[in-house]
Chain A
Amino acid sequence: MKKLILLAFFFILVTNLINAQTYKTRDANIYFNPNKDLSHKDYASQSKEGTAVLKVETSEVALLVPMKTFHFNNALLEEHFNENYLHTNKFPNATFKGKLTGFNKDQLTKDGVYNMSSEGQVTLHGVTKDFKAPVKMTVKGKAVTFDCSFKIKAEDYAIDIPGLVKPKLADFTPIDAAIVFQLN
């Protein structure tokens, strides 16, 4: 009898451990367009190779985007992005770590759109800043999509924009992140 209780206790602990679910994706999509006039796409860029993790129990999230996976329409601009502005040999990744507020794991079992916010730290170009932005979570069957749109200022991250280009760019760069997790 005692043995049985012991085993049950052990089982509960282990299942509890397994229940600490984490979801992971390797194709997080990050898009930005720094143009003042957003219909211009000359400086717009996209990476589809971000890695994101979500830990359901603690609502913790983390995102890592290798800077070299940002591609541009014009190859020369891509070279400038890497060599002159973001110095991607020195700072190879952009990262985010933080928490979702307004998230609970029951939402994952019901289809719908949930609004919440994320709070944490962004590291870009070697500079770490506090970050807070609203997030929209869409649950549809096994797919959970997080959409987050926010704006950053290049100067905050010590990114020098030359005077010649500056007039064409907005003061704040809008960034869209779309992260899709597959529940299993």
Chain B
Amino acid sequence: MKKTLLYFMLACCFFLKASAQSDLLGDLIKEDSSTVKHNIATATFKSTRIINLQSVEMTGKGNLQFMISHRFGYLWKTGKGLTNVAQLFGMNSGFANTYMSFDYSFTDWMNTGFAATGNAQFETWAKFKLLKQQSGKKNIPITISWFTLMHWDASEGPSPDDLAWNRLSFMHQILIARKFSENFSLQLMPSYIHYNYTPYGINNTNNIFSLGIGGRMKLSHKTAITFEYTRQLNGYKDLLDETASAVNYVPDVLSLGYDWDTGGHIFQFFISSASTASNITQLSTNLNQMKLGNFSLGFNLNRSYGIKKVVQTH
């Protein structure tokens, strides 16, 4: 009886000892893979914009981003023939809308920016990340951001005593995106635009709604093709201005783009049926008819700088 007990104890000890001698790294890997993680979807889009409109992406925390963007003249003006070629399909036509902006992210969920959008117009915005697509600890299928923009028209208005208040307009946009795979992402963008100034005339409104969809398909690690389509829902048909002439805006805007990440900059080349630079004018007062000649070439160029140091200096 005693003998069996002895053998049993010995066996126990050797067994324990053997299990204590197992592979250290193997245990680490096992432990690491058994902990449930936050797998947050990153890089749903390459840039903070898809083409014209904002994407759910934001400049990284503590980073300052500078963006310059150009939108050139019509691709092909009817009746102008070879002049269009000499004008290099709009790029050499002497017409371009320039857009310049700086934006900075104080936290990883909030980004603020300031832009000059051409024609003495200015914009300032804030973007908030409300929901992050993730799996693991929590399962959230989509990313949601709220983009809010204030637009200030500083150009010489129709009447010089225009109240400053009347020169402001606002936009709210909800960006709902999903990264379906490493390569493919889609985004839905309902927007609401409010003009403080109600334009004189009939059928005019200060509240304009629009819906948009955008997407990205990666071609390689550094390149991708993008598209964007927006549709204005109200306030574009048979508007009468103060001279009683009818104005019709074009509710559809279509854009196709090509993203190229050079390592330091992100270039976005695109062709779009809107040639203005501000989101508010693109979504509410677009005048370009949707036919091939009326499209215009353009590009966005991004560069971001790490202002706040994350890495400790050695």
Contact = CB atoms under 8 A, between A and B. Distances in A.
Interface of A: 2-3, 6, 9-10, 13-14, 16-17, 20, 22, 31, 33, 41-42, 44-46, 51, 53, 55, 58, 60-64, 66, 71-80, 82-84, 89, 93, 95-97, 162, 164-165, 176
Contacts of A51: 28, 31-32
Nearest to B40: A68
A84 B60 contact: no
B108 to A, nearest CB: 9
Interface stretch (B2-10, B67-75, B156-164): B2-10
21 contacts: A3-B2, A6-B6, A9-B9, A10-B13, A13-B17, A16-B17, A17-B16, A46-B312, A53-B27, A73-B309, A74-B60, A74-B63, A75-B59, A75-B304, A76-B63, A76-B304, A83-B43, A84-B221, A97-B25, A165-B263, A176-B314
Given A31-B311, A74-B306, A79 B13 contact: no
A76 B32 contact: no
Task: Describe A's contact surface by its main secondary structure.
Answer: mixed
A83 to B, nearest CB: 6
A104 to B, nearest CB: 18
Interface string B108-138: 0000000000000000000000000000000
Interface string B201-222: 0000000000000000000011
A75 to B, nearest CB: 2
A89 B182 CA distance: 10
A121 to B, nearest CB: 9
Contacts of B2: 2-3, 6
Interface string B137-172: 000000000000000000000000000000000000
Contacts of B13: 10, 13-14, 17
A107 B279 CA distance: 67
Nearest to B14: A13
Contacts of A162: 263
Nearest to A79: B43
Nearest to B262: A164
A89 B262 CA distance: 22
A178 to B, nearest CB: 10
A77 B222 CA distance: 13
B42 interface: yes
B200 interface: no
A2 B6 CA distance: 11
**Of listed A6, A31, A75, residue having the most chain B CB within 10 A:** A75
A66 B32 contact: yes
Interface string B9-35: 110010011001101110111011000
